[in-house]
Amino acid sequence: MNKAYLGFGSNIGNGRLHVKKAWQALSLVPGVTPLRISSFYKTAPWGYTDQPDFINACAEIETSLSPEALLGVCLGIEAGLGRVRAIKNGPRVIDIDLLLYSGETRDTDELTLPHPRMWQRRFVLDPLYEITAGTPLGDRVKEAIAALPDE
């Protein structure tokens, strides 16, 4: 089994409910075992800022799926929950990002691992640190948080 970390975000409708539904949907996927999910974090939008605040969370899973297959699962859950991609970095019912996958790297048109902007995004790092504190990954996340500019 491989360990993977996912980031969730929602700012249309009931964000907490959308993240919970996405988390529950993951538990129904063969080859995916959800381990833990962070608290919910309310954060200002990043990039395109003319939109409501987000509810963000991170999760740890174990999976026998490949990174590409796991990404496909995440995209399928997004579509199933009503995600429409209209504006880059715009409002969304749910967003599920594959952040890390068992130390693997990828750089293809479909998938980049680790997620290319996760180390600059406090809305990813804070919930990720919550579920990785006390581990080598948690130490790296804590260092990345300390290096971010004050908000």
150 tagged catalytic: no
Quote the pLDDT of residue 47: 80
Q: Which fold has domain 2-116?
A: Alpha-Beta Plaits (3.30.70)
Tell me which of 50, 53, 83, 126 is the catalytic residue: 83
92 tagged catalytic: yes
Three-state DSSP state, 2: strand
Tell me which of 95, 121, 122, 126 is the catalytic residue: 95
99 and 124 Cβ atoms separated by less than 8 Å: yes
117 tagged catalytic: no
CA neighbor of 43 nearest in space, from 31, 54, 27, 51: 54
Tell me which of 16, 36, 50, 92 is the catalytic residue: 92
Give the single-character DSSP code of 133.
T
Three-state DSSP state, 62: strand
Quote the pLDDT of residue 151: 62
Q: Would you say the pTM of this structure is higher than 0.85?
A: yes
Q: Give the residues of the chain that fall short of pLDDT 50.
A: none
CA neighbor of 120 nearest in space, from 142, 150, 148: 148
Quote the pLDDT of residue 85: 78
83 tagged catalytic: yes
d(CA 95, CA 71): 12
**48 backbone dihedrals φ, ψ, rounded to 5°:** -80, 110
